[in-house]
Amino acid sequence: MNSLKDKTIIVTGGGRGIGAAACKLLADEGANVIVTCRTTDEGLSIEKDILSRNMSAKFISHDVTEEESWQSVIEETLTLFPQIDAVVNNAGNYNFQSILDCTHQSFKSLINTSLDGCFLGLKFGTEAIRRHGKGGSIVMMSSVLAKIGAVNMSALSAAHGGVKLLAKAAACELGPEKIRINSIHPGLVDTYTDEEFKKNYPESLDSLKYEKDNIATIPFQRKASCDEIAEAIRFLVSDESVFMTGAEITIDGGLIAQ
């Protein structure tokens, strides 16, 4: 499998969940994968996993909300590989709180990671891709919450709605340079065990019950696997989607078709 041979791709939030699955799949398809995240042990673990299969990966510590951190990731990547072909803006935060329970600080924190982080990835990714002038692909991880409302998910909806239209605006602006921007909209994804979720998102424990109660409402009666979302990422960074920009891939088992 070599649909991404010699492409260099930055994946944010690459240490766990969808990001980790994407890093492994893109590497297996021949890409040089830059695994970025804040948690060093997780990022190094994914790098090690990929290297052990004789594929190409490098972990770089990264806070997607900081411009300086983006600058460092781009510069370090370009010391290792000749050019950057794609950026997968996957890093995001989670919040499951009513509007009254969600503090302004929590709201801003969610927006900062999930929307501002995508904006900075778009900005720095575009600059990096422009350096070689051959075009490239930027993938924006949004959600079905960019298309429908849901109880206790106001902050997530606001962030993901912003990401969706940020992608479309960028697609119009950057199309002439062959820089493609598309968004992915997962429904429920089987990302973490309950224990991992409790550790990662202690403020949003009510979400565990919500997700279990709502699986029955998904026409496919199950969550997506991280690998299924990763496959859409692979498609969008590959040359199989060269005429695709400003588009959305919804992967939700039919959730919002009803």
Partner 1 sequence: MNRIKNKVAIITGATSVGIGRETALRLSSEGALLIVTGRNEEEGKNTEDMVINQGGKCKYIKHDVSSEENWKEVIQETINIYGSIDYLINNAGQFWIKPISETSLDDFKQICSVNIDGTWLGMKHCLGKMNDGGAIVNVSSLMGQMGLPEGVGYCASKGAVTSMTKSVALEAAKRKIRVNALHPGVIWTTMVGGGEGGDENLKNFFIQETPIRMIGLPEHMADAILFLCASDYITGADINVDGGRLADGSMGSHAE
Interacting residue ranges for partner 1, rule: CB under 8 A: 1, 167-168, 171-172, 175-176, 178, 180, 219-221, 224-225, 228, 231-232, 235, 240-254, 256-258
Q: How far is the CB of 204 from partner 1 (least distance, A)?
A: 24
At 249, which helix (H) or strand (E)? strand 248-251
Q: How far is the CB of 52 from partner 1 (least distance, A)?
A: 25
CA angle 50, 51, 54 (to 5 degrees): 100
Secondary structure of residue 246 in the 3-state scheme: coil
Cα distances from 181 to residues 98, 171, 172, 204, 205, in angstroms, run: 32, 5, 9, 31, 33
**At 250, phi and psi to the nearest 5?**
-90, 125
Secondary structure of residue 172 in the 3-state scheme: helix
Cα–Cα nearest to 86, from 16, 18, 165, 22: 22
Q: How many CB atoms lie within 10 A of CB 100?
A: 6
Q: How far is the CB of 198 from partner 1 (least distance, A)?
A: 26
Please, which residue, 142 or 245, has the CB nearer to partner 1?
A: 245
Q: How far is the CB of 181 from partner 1 (least distance, A)?
A: 9
Please, which residue, 159 or 232, has the CB nearer to partner 1?
A: 232
Handedness of CA 223, 160, 89, 1 (dihedral sign): positive
Q: How far is the CB of 199 from partner 1 (least distance, A)?
A: 26
Please, which residue, 205 or 256, has the CB nearer to partner 1?
A: 256
Q: How far is the CB of 180 from partner 1 (least distance, A)?
A: 7
Q: How many CB atoms lie within 10 A of CB 244?
A: 15
Please, which residue, 54 or 258, has the CB nearer to partner 1?
A: 258
Please, which residue, 105 or 258, has the CB nearer to partner 1?
A: 258
Q: Which two tokens stand for residue 149?
A: 């409302």
DSSP 8-class letter at 146? G
Please, which residue, 38 or 178, has the CB nearer to partner 1?
A: 178
Please, which residue, 116 or 228, has the CB nearer to partner 1?
A: 228
Q: How far is the CB of 250 from partner 1 (least distance, A)?
A: 4
Contact 171, 121 (CB under 8 A): no
Alpha helices in 131-191, H assignment, sequence order: 154-174
Contact 27, 4 (CB under 8 A): no
